[in-house]
Amino acid sequence: MKKKKLSPLWLIPAVVIVALILWCIHFPLTMFAGLRADTEPLSATVLVDQVPETPAITFTTNDTEQLSEIMEQLRSVRGRFMGWFSMITYNDDPLLHLIVTGNKGKNPYHLSLCVDSDGYLYVQEGNTRLRAKDAALYDYLTELAARHDGVVTLNNGWNYTPQDSMTYTVRSAILGEGEKECCLSVEFHSAIQDSDAKQWAVEKYTDFYDGWTENYLKANMAAVRASYTVEYDSTKTPLPSGKIERVFLLFINKETGKWEIWESAEMPLGEKDTVKTVAADYVEKLSRVIYLYEDIDLAENTVLTYDDSPEMQYVVEKSEELKARRVAEGHFRTDWGSMYSTDVMEFSEDSAIVLVWEDIGFRYEGEEFSSGMGNEYTVTLKKFNGEWLVSSVEGGDTYSLKEMETYQYRKAMPELYAQAGVEAFSFHDTLSVQVTNVIKTETRVLPAEDNFEYEVYTVLPGAEIEVLHAAVEDTVELGPLGIWKVYSKDGTLQYLESGMPNIPITENINGIGAESVCILVFELYTGEG
């Protein structure tokens, strides 16, 4: 008797059943937000995004108990997985943004998510979209974001509006200088929470007043390091003009929930404070060039001041290229707002590496809804003549060392890149690939292998292999494996699979083959020889 073949149609109900099971499961938010047990939050910020208003920071805290409450709330959230999002939709109610920074073990932690009143959660780091089981998180963040207004004048002469955000409170105070008769101009640069300055202040001011215990100051005091440029009329005030860096000490008003400035006296600032400011200031300048198309000298405050640097020259030229392209495409933004946090990853006497997290909000001209994004940058700094200067920038959607190298080659060999093309290569019905940046193809022969013929592609830096089709075979030990492999000069190999991510062609890659024999060899041309 012949066995009846099983119809593949049975897969359809199986897939439907699995999809229904997944739909019914409410996954914890911890699966998508990295909220491990060892995650230690240091600050949390809530932004309210209400069309057509500009997104505004309305709540910021570094209080330990408050942060624990926020983390507990996040860990209680469950929702259905709705896939990945490319755009956040808006309804009539405000969209609430929650930003949490801290430490996860020995590494920095950063969470950015959005919540709307329809129950959707958008975890921005992984572009994950969930449908919340209930509205508890939205209601909780709404309560945190409750706003109060009022203007006060400090005993030390600062005019400002207290805010739920400590950094926005400081920004208000600095811009308030421009309203004084003695001030000719003021330009705000940055305001960043400073944990080192806070620790210094806690140690200095413990028991300064009755009730100012160490625990009280840790829970209620904040330190913000600000940078700004101001010009005063010397005939009306003895205050100095120029670029100023100052640390503000603030206290939370329990009744209003607003941060109020207590002191802004001079206090010792370490070298780490300086590198944080320089890194954050430079990232902000980059964003204002590539998103707002402002005319800013991006070579300033970099190593280009003293010497040529391919890394920084790439950053400057790439930024101008992006600016020109986006202007030509007509992508203009309004209602701009930005916030930055930093962490020093490496530090020595003359070099430093700083992580800069950027959260920006804006509205495209002609659109009623607001947009936003978060970027992470790695900024390397060098010290020249006692001044910290930016020496390289990686991250965001525009900068990487790999792109920088290719960019330099394109500048050096524009005619060759203009001539380069895409070549298709196939072998019977078991292999089909496409190779980019090919400038020369030829057939070579191995006499020692019975005149075996193989193809050679000469490619330019930045070339990649796209695998369209690659056959597999079953193995006893490892299961299904690709027949074809990419062989490298260091002895490593990579099995090819259909639809796998593109493979960059580097100097280490030899070619594609099987049984240690390549049928397609790559030669990388870098302008030499």
Tell me: do 396 and 498 sit in the same domain.
no
The domain boundary residue, chosen from 347, 376, 410: 410
Confidence of residue 389 (pLDDT cuts 50, 70, 90): very high
Tell me: do 406 and 296 sit in the same domain.
yes
Given strand 371-384, what is the order of strands in its sheet?
A: 333-347, 351-364, 371-384, 387-395
Does the residue 483 lie in any domain?
yes
Tell me: do 287 and 403 sit in the same domain.
yes
| Two tokens, residue 314 | 């790439």
Does the residue 180 lie in any domain?
yes
Tell me: do 310 and 371 sit in the same domain.
yes
Report pLDDT for 151: 36
* Cα distances (Å, whole numbers) of residue 15 to 8, 78, 128, 130, 394: 12, 24, 22, 21, 42
Does the residue 7 lie in any domain?
no
Tell me: do 455 and 369 sit in the same domain.
no
Does the residue 371 lie in any domain?
yes
Mean pLDDT for the chain overall:
84
Report pLDDT for 439: 95
Report pLDDT for 42: 79
The domain boundary residue, chosen from 144, 176, 195: 144
Tell me: do 70 and 105 sit in the same domain.
yes
Write out the residue range of the structural domain in which residue 513 sits.
Answer: 414-524
Report pLDDT for 8: 64
Looking at per-residue pLDDT, the higher value among 465 and 194 belongs to: 465
Tell me: do 403 and 418 sit in the same domain.
no
Does the residue 442 lie in any domain?
yes
Tell me: do 61 and 140 sit in the same domain.
yes
Does the residue 8 lie in any domain?
no
CB-CB contact of 73 with 138 (8 Å): no
pLDDT digits (tens, 9 = 90+) for 390-408: 999 998 877 777 778 888 8
Window from 145-159, 172-186, 457-471, 492-506 with minimum mean pLDDT: 145-159
Does the residue 249 lie in any domain?
yes
Q: Among residues 527, 407, 521, 426, which one has the least CA distance to residue 471?
A: 426
Assessment of whether the complete model's pTM goes beyond 0.85: no
pLDDT digits (tens, 9 = 90+) for 326-336: 999 988 998 88
Q: What is the mean pLDDT of residues 219-227?
A: 89
Tell me: do 430 and 382 sit in the same domain.
no
Q: Which percentage of the chain shows pLDDT scores above 70?
A: 90
Report pLDDT for 267: 53
Let me know if 174 is exposed, middle or buried by CB neighbors in 10 A (0-12, 13-18, 19+): buried
Does the residue 304 lie in any domain?
yes
Q: What is the mean pLDDT of residues 265-280?
A: 75
How many domains are there within the chain? 4
Q: What is the mean pLDDT of residues 240-260?
A: 86
pLDDT digits (tens, 9 = 90+) for 110-147: 888 899 999 899 988 778 888 888 888 999 998 887 74
Rounded Cα distance between 201 and 218, Å, is: 10
Tell me: do 215 and 227 sit in the same domain.
yes
Judge whether residue 155 has pLDDT over 50.
no
Rounded to 10 degrees, the C-alpha dihedral 394/400/405/407 comes to -110
Tell me: do 192 and 290 sit in the same domain.
no
Q: What is the mean pLDDT of residues 58-68?
A: 77
Tell me: do 71 and 126 sit in the same domain.
yes
Confidence of residue 157 (pLDDT cuts 50, 70, 90): low
Report pLDDT for 207: 83
pLDDT digits (tens, 9 = 90+) for 419-433: 999 999 999 999 999
CATH code of the domain covering residue 45: 2.60.40
Q: What is the mean pLDDT of residues 345-365?
A: 89
The domain boundary residue, chosen from 269, 294, 315: 269
Confidence of residue 380 (pLDDT cuts 50, 70, 90): very high
CATH code of the domain covering residue 279: 3.10.450
